[in-house]
Structure 1
Amino acid sequence: MLLASFALSGFDSIIKTMELGEAIEQIDSCTECDICLDVCQTYEVTRDKAFSPIGRLQAAKKVFQADDVTSEMVDGIFGCMSCQRCNLECPQEIDISRIVHKARGELLRRGVGPLETINRVIEQMQDLGNMVNGDPAKRWEWLPEEFPERESDTLLYMGCLPCYLVPQVAISSYLLLKRLGMDFMMLKDEGCCGNYLYHMGRGDIAREKFEENRERFKRLGIKKVITTCPGCQLSLSPDRKAQANGFEVLHLVQVLPDLLRERHECQNAKLPCILQASYQDPCELGRAGKGIYEEPREILSLCGVELVEMDENKERAACCGGILAVAFKDICTEVGTRFLEKVKPDNIITACPSCLLRLNYASKKRGKGKMGMYVSEVILDFLNCSQVN
């Protein structure tokens, strides 16, 4: 289903929608106090009002009123990271992120936007079952051992990025859960969650992917889904209610504290040299997700990591650049570079494969000398290097 046949429905029947009148009313309540400019990282990088929350609201109003919009306005709307930092700071409590998302959908209705990029991702999802142009036959090449197909009511849903672009996330998560004795299954023909297309305004396809996954999980008797990616977690549970899906969707960091305590792995370990690192709060795990802040810090502390908190952390954490990598790579890289400049230790730990990919890319590209690690990598290395009973 490409843009020519696009009819916007999105997660609108699942996630609360914003009516056109409400959107315009909220836009009109903006006093242009400029507070949002202080936290908008795309504005910080570009110094272009079109890439600011205020500029996006003004452009969105034109979109909703069917007025002409400039190419710069379109870029500004699609160049939003959906990080929701502006929402948090707006004194008028304008839901800027949701307004921008609605404007994207309206623009795509008109056939306006980064159509070539979005169509390419759609085709990859349809033809290959993933959004990163990965060969389906190689999806599980990262597996360190033969993993027989088996039945379980717990599914480890790995996601596109770990399987194809950041295999260290997949390998360490798989080995860690096995070591901690968790019973789980994986799907050899695992499909994409559709998260990127949802953010870019193609909620109709994202909803289709959600329905496909939900029906499949129900047929398999899945009661719990564990994801390595915050975006996958949100896309597989868009209504935020487990009972509506028939299964619970948890991020890896939510299941690890109990597993580590049950196995007494960390308590029985002799601490190796303590790693000093900053933990990066992924937007879709925290502020724009389910507000998960303490669990990753708890498990890292259990495993001897000395955390050096960033000045901006938890609900006010900065974004890595995220979804901009596909259509606005230069801006994304600069956002990531400036993020790295604010990190004091050389080590950064995250719980998001996309953040890991973007921050390591920015570090390599701009020579920042910082190293990003996924949370399961750190824990597994700790357990492997420790003497445990």
Structure 2
Amino acid sequence: MGGILGIYAFDKIWNVSKFLYYGSIGLQHRGYSYSGISTLNDNGFSTITSNVAPEDLDVKGLEGWAGVAYNGTKQGYPLATDYGVAVIDGIVKDVEGLLKSVYKDPEKGLQESKGVFSMIFLTKDGRMIGYRDESGVKPLEIGGFGFDLAILSSETSGISVIGGEFKREIQPGEMVYIDTYNVSYSRIKDPKPRYCSIDIIYQSRIDSHVFGLDIYDVRVKIGEQLAEEKRIDADVVIGVPDTAIPYAIGYSRKTGIPFTLGFTRTGSPIRTMLASDDFLKVIGVQLKLNPIKASIKGKRVILVDDSMVTGRTLKNTIFSLRSLGAKEVHVLIGSPKLISYCPYGMEVPEEKDLIAANLSDEEISKVIGADSIYWLSLEGLYKVIGHKSLCVGCMTKSYPKEV
């Protein structure tokens, strides 16, 4: 999976490299194993890639009036071909064949495409083509910087951090075509939306607007839904920063149990679900967070997190809380149980590695050291979102589209 970004200036006097750099930082929560930026000017493409987070890229000397950026878990992006440079979030069959056909005839090429993906393709002759497949599992947004720049981004955070204005979502099955004179939209395939539930629950930044939803508001409502489903007698509610804080706020509002800050950040954010290094997965919580003793000592704590994959990071967190004097630790998870892998590129492991797929609630509580544990119900998720047009394959083993 990854964060993708494309910026197109309507006048060649612009250099978009720094816009791409900072916009990519606004998307780095979508994956930080690999990153890259490619720009286009009259001399062709210039590309830099690295196995580092986008904030560590050196864009000095990188110039162009249009460009694309990627950060995520797949090496090789931006992908350079004979026809241009592309960034893709998701799974595509025969990527190079797709880009060749899209270069020749965008609408026909995309009509014949197979996969679950969002894509930004900057052609060698200076056209930018954005597309989101008909399932809409992967997000794609469009915005602008005045009348000077068009911006395509996985999330609105990639637009807003560079001072851009969000315009609208690219709809499932829709293409956006950008050249020097025009921005136009075409319906390529009939929409069959199945928005990624993990993107809503965990992946998207809390300040983003994705799938027609304001992520912060949705997560607060999930916390309120957890309170309706599972009331716990406790002294404080804390959330694992940053993604789970809105859940804890919602639970606190609904129950009246005080919300308090349970952790302070150490260094830059680390998304442990996306970490490729096993050591980082184990100690990731300590690297990014440190518990606040005054919030915890002698308290019955409700600990809210957005999801649970292997249970290792929560186990470490609960150990830290108990070592600082927490009397009880009750865990609430803001998603239904993850019991299966994701075939569409989200970093959800195979079933054998998912703790909820292999152990009972009582067994999980013992393993992670909690007094109790509860997951949001699937119906509760549907209730909060307001519809069932979601991909919940990792929670049900039922997937909306073959790849």
What's the TM-score once normalised by structure 1's chain length? Answer: 0.31
User: Counting helix residues as a fraction of each chain, which structure ranks higher?
Assistant: 1
User: Counting strand residues as a fraction of each chain, which structure ranks higher?
Assistant: 2
What's the TM-score once normalised by structure 2's chain length? Answer: 0.31
